[in-house]
Amino acid sequence: MVGIIRNKELNAYEAGVFKEMIAPENAYALSLEYKDQDQGTIVWQATFTGKEKKFYNDGDASWWLRVKKNLSLWFPVRDLL
């Protein structure tokens, strides 16, 4: 859902919050890393305390969160939206 904020003060506040949320220290950068020419692997990159880290599965999500995400893919909820 998309909305338009007509209040200047609220608009400025939300713009600042958004800029903070997408700052490199608060967000992951996604890229593809190719081991062969046909298929790339998604790489989640982030900087923590000045050190660059790479993740090869959903950032630093716990294994249980990844299990729940994968299980939810089996349920046909798209038709219910």
pTM of the model: 0.54
pLDDT of res. 81: 66
Indicate whether 50 belongs to any domain: yes
Cβ neighbours of residue 36 under 8 Å, at least 6 residues apart? none
Question: Residue type for 36, please?
Answer: D
What's the CA gap between 78 and 81, in Å, rounded?
5
pLDDT of res. 35: 80
Question: Residue type for 67, please?
Answer: V
Cβ neighbours of residue 33 under 8 Å, at least 6 residues apart? 40, 41, 43
pLDDT of res. 74: 84
Indicate whether 17 belongs to any domain: no
Range of the domain at 39: 25-80
The total number of structural domains that make up the chain: 1
Indicate whether 12 belongs to any domain: no
pLDDT of res. 38: 77
What's the CA gap between 49 and 39, in Å, rounded?
32
Indicate whether 38 belongs to any domain: yes
Q: Which token pair is 22?
A: 């997408």
Which stretches in the chain have pLDDT values below 70?
A: 1, 78, 81
